[in-house]
Amino acid sequence: SVGLAARRVDRMESVAAEIEQRGGKAVVCPCDVGDRADVVAAVNKTERELGPVDLLVANAGMSILTHVKAFDSAGVEQVLRVNFLGAVYAVEATLPGMLERQSGQLVAMGSIAGYGGLPKTAAYSASKGAMHNFFESLSVDLRGTGVDVTIITPGYIKTELTDQNRHHMPFLVELDPAVQRIAEASARRKKHLAFPRPLSTAVWLAQMLPAPWYHALAARVKRKKAE
């Protein structure tokens, strides 16, 4: 039984039809995750029609380029609202029931970009860093409650979002294998999944560098993106 919450109703209806063809149940909930009332309404509708939420997958995301010479705080706010606060609203709506039942799982879609600041991605990197730290804290606080937290931190996955990129995307992962890895990690209730390993390891190690070295490396990445 799957509750679908997103803006594009036609996409959700197509997924719902596939779920039902395979013998499952689905409910479509038109929702802007950046709107707290929308998120609460979507969760309430799902629970009325399908029962309590056992698994929350906070997967909504968007990105913008952050230009220092044309800085727009409204764009940053939108990214944070969709990528981070939408997940917070969903947790607020689902966690009390999970705690009462002493059972449940929160799956958070982060990004390797959340490990540190990257060129022209201040808004996106900040939102994914917030996701990681927020759900990491929840994971600690929820120990012993029966509610598990899984944090997914992928690199580049081939989707409509990354198709808009014009820069090199190292170790680009096709969608189906990525989804399989995420599903398996969630089913096993792993605490973390970071992939692809070469990219996640490289970015993690870069954070261990002294600040001047890291900034010099990031500047090289910026030049490559410009090319």
The set of catalytic residues is 124
Supply 70's token pair.
Answer: 């044309």
| Phi, psi (rounded to 5 degrees) for 188 | -85, -5
Supply 34's token pair.
Answer: 């950046």
In the Cβ-directed half-sphere of 31, how many Cα atoms lie within 13 Å? 27
Dihedral over alpha carbons 8, 13, 14, 19 (to 10 degrees): 130
| CA 124 to the chain's CA centroid | 11
Q: Are 127 and 168 in contact (CB under 8 A)?
A: no
**CA separation for the pair 79, 225 (Å, rounded):** 21
Closest CA to 61 of 148, 137, 131: 131
**CA separation for the pair 212, 218 (Å, rounded):** 10
Q: What is the DSSP string of 173-193?
A: B-HHHHHHHHHHHHHTT-SEE
